[in-house]
Amino acid sequence: MDKRRLEIEITDLAFNGRAVGHVEGKVVFLDGGLPGEKVLAEIINSRPRYDEATVLDIIRKSDRRVAAPCSHFDYCGGCTWQDLTYQDQLGFKKKQVVDCLERIGGLEDTRVLDVFGSVEVFRYRNKMEFSFNVAGDGGFTLGLHRRGRFDEIFDLDKCHLTPDIASHIVGWVRDYVKRTNLSVYDVSNHCGYMRFVMIRQAKRTADLMVNLVTNYGDFPEPDKLVRSMTAAFPGISTIVHNQNGRKANIATGEIEKVLIGCGYIEERLFESVFRIRANSFFQTNSIQTETLYRAGFDLLEARPDNRVLDLYCGTGSIGILLAGYVDEVTGVELVADAVQTARENAHLNKVRNVNFVEGDVKDFLRDSVKADKSYDTVIVDPPRAGLHPKALKRLVRLNPQKILYISCNPSTFARDAKEIVTAGYVLPQVRPVDMFPHTMHIELASVFKRK
């Protein structure tokens, strides 16, 4: 393996948050470093088209560099840009969107508006998952993943992206597991009991949920846990236990039991209230979610006679918020629990012109095309992978007047945008919205209009 040490001038930041430099005309991606800096780096991997390197020392610092407040910053896999000024973060995020649209989508005429910055740049998350793993000394760790490693968890002291109470709860659970000698899950050998602690706290209502995710089996002495935890944190609204025996390292449950409380929290967006359960998808930056949705609705310019199809609707927030401005909304979601919660949310907000359907988006679109159904507007808010190819083909065959596309991944958005434009739509502009300060992630809202 090539272990050369070189001095490298950093010129840019890549889509994945890594720094970019060049050595003898060859691109080098670096872990660490900011544009304008000269660094001493070690090449750790050499490929035909590019090299990968890690920064050993900063020879000349950039004016864009700031001190990262988090003690875990040097090795945590979360905040890769915490040492970059926030205005520069927004600038590089806009550049990522422009690059993706031009390079992947071939859409050089689409205007990319300035990024809407987050109202809060720290403690903005309403949800965070913390992982257990066994340690080599016979103990265990509870915290977050080391950068680039699925199998290494460091003990969390304090996370600056969550409310302070989340870090305190993590420390308390760590001590409780030690005191009660509960076994901890080994992510390499797939054995052991305690797997994740997931904490949700609503920003508008302050409702607080603790979700303990374990391997299969009832939680030992649950009453003891509840008494101890609620005594330490009387603000907890509900404690939930989820069992997950699958090897996939994700903090969702197959079997759920509510240990105390109602099993959900409530959050407000604009004037509406939404219930969020342990396994529900809900945007993790509540305040900035309003900014994202408002940007999408402003671009959409919905009319009272519009019939709207809301795909990947989750727990129904977009459709419910839009329902008061259109004739009717049909939401489609694959996850049964999310559909049930969406129906509850519609009832909770006394919205009667929304109908939620459980099903696969691509299958629903196939049946809609066959039945010659028509919708004025289609909303899509897909996962990071973007639209399924069959769903994309059937969407454009449905031929709505407008498509509101909300994306959390500019590269897959650009790929899908190319196909939608080729099918006869125009994309005048895109509005990026920063939901996740100090990370390389960027969301965006856009509206395709049929020619």
- What's the mean per-residue pLDDT of the chain? 95
Mean pLDDT of 343-361: 97
Please give the Cα distance from 148 to 45 (Å, whole number).
14
Question: Please, what sign has the CA dihedral across residues 299, 304, 309, 315?
Answer: positive
Q: Give the pLDDT of residue 62.
A: 95
Residues contacting residue 249 through CB under 8 Å, at least 6 positions apart = 131, 150, 187
Between CA 307 and CA 375 the distance in angstroms is 5
**Beta strand pairing call for 238-243 and 153-155:** unpaired
CB 382 within 8 A of CB 390: no
Q: What is residue 216's DSSP assignment?
A: S
Q: Residue 46: which H helix or E strand, with range? A: strand 38-46
Spacing of C-alpha 323 from chain mean position: 25
For residue 262, which amino acid is it? C
**pLDDT higher than threshold 80 for residue 295:** yes
Is residue 98 over pLDDT 90? yes
Region 117-125 average pLDDT = 96
State the pLDDT at residue 69. Answer: 95
Position 357 scores a pLDDT of 97
3-state secondary structure 80-96: CCCCECHHHHHHHHHHH
Range name among 154-168, 170-184, 241-255, 286-300 with the lowest pLDDT average = 241-255
pTM over 0.85: yes
Of the pLDDT bands very low, low, confident and very high (cuts 50, 70, 90), residue 296 is: very high
Query: What's the confidence (pLDDT) of residue 19?
Result: 93
Considering the domain delimited by 1-64, tell me its CATH architecture. Beta Barrel (2.40)
Supply the pLDDT for residue 430. 98
Residue 388 binned pLDDT confidence (cut-offs 50, 70, 90) = very high
Whether the Cβ atoms of residue 414 and residue 390 lie closer than 8 Å to each other = no
Measured in whole angstroms, how far is the alpha carbon of residue 370 from the centre of its chain?
A: 34
Gap between the Cα atoms of 325 and 400, Å rounded: 18
Mean pLDDT for the stretch of residues 326-352: 96
Helix (H) or strand (E) segment spanning residue 26: strand 26-31
Nearest to 346 by CA among 358, 333, 334, 355: 355
CATH topology of domain 90-119+285-450: Rossmann fold (3.40.50)
pLDDT of residue 242: 97
- Hey, what are 227's tokens? 């008494």
The confidence band for 2, taking pLDDT boundaries of 50, 70 and 90, is low
> How does residue 1 score in pLDDT terms, banded at 50, 70 and 90?
very low
Is 1-64's fold the same as 127-263's? yes
Q: Where are the domains of the chain?
A: 1-64, 90-119+285-450, 127-263
Three-state DSSP class for 130? strand
Active site residues: 408
* Interval 188-203: pLDDT, tens: 888 999 999 999 999 9
DSSP letters of 342-405? HHHHHHHTT--SEEEEES-HHHHHHHHHHTT---SEEEE---TT-S-HHHHHHHHHH--SEEEE
Kindly report the CATH class assigned to 127-263.
mainly beta
Q: What is the pLDDT of residue 78?
A: 87
The model's confidence at residue 15, banded by pLDDT at 50, 70 and 90, is confident
* Residue 147 confidence (pLDDT): 86
Binned at pLDDT 50, 70 and 90, residue 271 comes out as: very high
- 111-112 and 429-433: which strand pairing? parallel
Is 70 exceeded by the pLDDT of residue 129? Answer: yes
More confident residue, 221 or 31: 221
